[in-house]
A = this chain, B = another copy of it.
Amino acid sequence: MKGVFAAVLTPMRDDLAIDRAAFAQHCRRLLDAGCHGLGIFGTTGEANSLSVGERIEAWEALVAAGIEAELLLPGTGACALPDAVELSRAALALGTPGVLALPPFYYKGVSDDGLFRFFAELIERVGDDRLRLFLYHIPPQMIVGFSPELIGRLLDAYPGIVAGTKDSAGDAARIERLCAEFPQLAVFAGTEALLLDTLRWGGAGTISATVNVTANLAREVYDLHAAGEDAEAAQTRLTERRRYLERFPVIPALKAIVREQTGDALWANLRPPLDPLDAPAVRELLAGL
């Protein structure tokens, strides 16, 4: 698993149910725009605003609609061990090459021992050698995260199964350290602003919210680097786009852009507690693009 992955937005109808047709169309657009793969139901996808059943049914519907399971990295994050087990098994049954796993995020200030036990129980209970865990480190939302020491312990205990990480700490030095310390780990930067750096450090690529609207630019950086050509200018354009988007609340801003691109009003819907952008903010956002 490597390359440019969008952390895919989830389109919702006015009754807040997932719109499966719009979801599959958006996934196809992202693949056509250059994504190597798709993270389905992470923070950007409002995963934890969906029930376990909603998530599993939506994955199945995407595959039924022709989105290739081997291009999907489903988010299986849950506070409750049985939920994480159920989501992981469903993703395996679907044939996805890995799952994106959050730490249990209800309790704060928990120990590395407690987090290790959670993942050990998860891996043992899933009980399938095909499991590939990508550790989803996003301390700004979760407070709880993966220390490098914990990642090392998990890699030692479950080599092969602990396969990668999405690092959304916003800390370039940490990504560089993880790439150097754990060459067996596929390290994805949580922002495409660090894509070229991550690739140079030996990392796998990026899984990012804003790739919902920057996929072509991000792919250009990836391809230039892969070809041994100068990717600096392309990365600069990509970083500028990302920095602009970061000035807005990211999930509603991305939905507003996709609404504009598709003309489909359902893209304005978010599950509470997230709010849509108000009209003046949408105008400002679109004007700046």
Contacts and interface: CB of A to CB of B under 8 A. Distances in A.
Interface of A: 16, 43, 48-52, 54, 79-83, 86, 103-108, 110-111, 113-115, 117-118, 121, 140-141, 143-144, 271-275
User: Which of A43, A103, A271 neighbours the largest number of chain B CB atoms within 10 Å of its CB?
Assistant: A271
5 contacts: A51-B52, A107-B141, A114-B272, A114-B273, A117-B273
Given A49-B104, A107-B141, 13 more contacts: A43-B106, A51-B83, A51-B86, A52-B52, A80-B271, A104-B272, A105-B106, A114-B272, A114-B273, A114-B274, A114-B275, A118-B272, A118-B273
Nearest to A85: B51
B272 A117 contact: yes
What are the 5 closest A-B residue pairs judged by CB atoms, nearest first?
Answer: A114-B273, A118-B272, A117-B272, A48-B106, A110-B273
Contacts of A82: 50-51, 54
A121 B271 CA distance: 10
A142 to B, nearest CB: 8
Judged by DSSP, the binding face of A is: loop
Given A81-B16, A121-B16, A141-B108, A273 B51 contact: no
A114 B144 CA distance: 23
A50 B273 contact: no
A255 to B, nearest CB: 14
A49 B81 contact: yes
Contacts of A106: 43, 48-49, 105, 141
A118 B274 CA distance: 9
Nearest to A110: B273
B104 A273 contact: yes
Given A16-B121, A80-B49, A103 B273 contact: yes
A79 B113 contact: no
A229 to B, nearest CB: 39
Contacts of A105: 106
A48 B106 CA distance: 7
